[in-house]
Amino acid sequence: MFQNPTVPLAPMTPDAAISASAAPAPRVALSLDRVRYVRHTAHLDRGEISVPAHCATAGEKALPPRACRWETAGMTTQRLPFPVPDERAHNFVNSYADMHDLVEDLVVPTGVPEAAATVLRTARELLRQSYYCYEFSTVAVMHSLIAVGIVLRDRIPGAGKKPLQKLIQQGADAGTLTARQAEYLDYGRQIRNGMAHGKTTHAVMPSAMAVPMVTTSFAIVSELCAAPA
């Protein structure tokens, strides 16, 4: 996790984190013209920063090559608390370790294209981290559908940039998708579209609902990759 070397973050107790999270965060005026590209020196432990020569100001060091990061220039920053368990997660699990038990069967099958495999792994991790950010469970479901779409486009001739709805229909008509798979994908597509277009807001899927849906995405990807092309 990136930390501003000039502002060390002190450890925060859970009680303090909860208190900090309840406090209103300072407003940050973000704009591209307030972001400056600067580069690290080899002395970040002492809080020293070098900048490109053309934007250096008095007192700033020369630019070392190939060590870079983004830094805000003159922006108000906020100090976010360390993650604390979301109390809603305790309706389903007792501890973060229990989240691993929920996702331990979500193994990325062999033979899956790396693009889809990466998305599935991310969806699995989002489920685990929903212990701290409950809404991540919904994001995990939406993300897992991306993996199915990637594989589906590989399996359907002439998929191109067709929307998912047409891909599902074409896959069902061609027998690439079973009726069960098509029904699930269309249900997930409707949820995704509702959120993307603002028709469904603040949607939260509890882990008890999200895990089976992500598991189904894993299963469909596995079945599509295992079936003869």
Q: Using one digit for the tens of pLDDT, what is the confidence trace for 23-67?
A: 444 444 544 444 444 444 333 333 444 444 555 555 555 445 554
Q: What is this structure's pTM?
A: 0.64
By mean pLDDT, which of 77-86, 110-119, 177-186 is the weakest? 77-86
What is the pLDDT, as a whole number, of residue 80?
Answer: 80
What is the pLDDT, as a whole number, of residue 202?
Answer: 57
The yes-or-no verdict on residue 8 having pLDDT over 50 is: no
Which residues sit opposite 21 in a β-bridge? none
Decide which of 29 and 10 is more confident: 29
What is the pLDDT, as a whole number, of residue 75?
Answer: 57
Burial 17-54 (b: 16+ CB within 10 A, else e): beebeeeeeeeeeeeeeeeeebbbbeebeeeebbbeee
Q: For residue 36, give the 3-state DSSP assignment.
A: strand
Q: How many whole angstroms separate alpha carbon 34 and alpha carbon 23?
A: 26
By mean pLDDT, which of 132-141, 194-203, 212-221 is the weakest? 194-203
What is the pLDDT, as a whole number, of residue 123?
Answer: 96
Task: List the domain boundaries for the chain.
Answer: 28-80, 87-226
Q: Using one digit for the tens of pLDDT, what is the confidence trace for 91-137?
A: 989 999 999 999 999 999 888 999 999 999 999 999 999 999 999 99
- Average pLDDT of 182-210? 79
Q: How confident is the model at residue 208 (pLDDT cuts 50, 70, 90)?
A: confident
| H-helix or E-strand spanning residue 39 | strand 35-40
Q: Provide the percentage of residues in the chain whose pLDDT is more than 90.
A: 33
What is the pLDDT, as a whole number, of residue 1?
Answer: 38
Decide which of 16 and 107 is more confident: 107
Q: How confident is the model at residue 11 (pLDDT cuts 50, 70, 90)?
A: very low
Instruction: Using alpha carbons, list the distances in angstroms from residue 112 to 115, 120, 124, 205.
Output: 8, 10, 15, 27
What is the pLDDT, as a whole number, of residue 76?
Answer: 62
Angle between the 207-226 and 96-103 helix axes, to the nearest 10 degrees? Answer: 30
Q: For residue 125, give the 3-state DSSP assignment.
A: helix
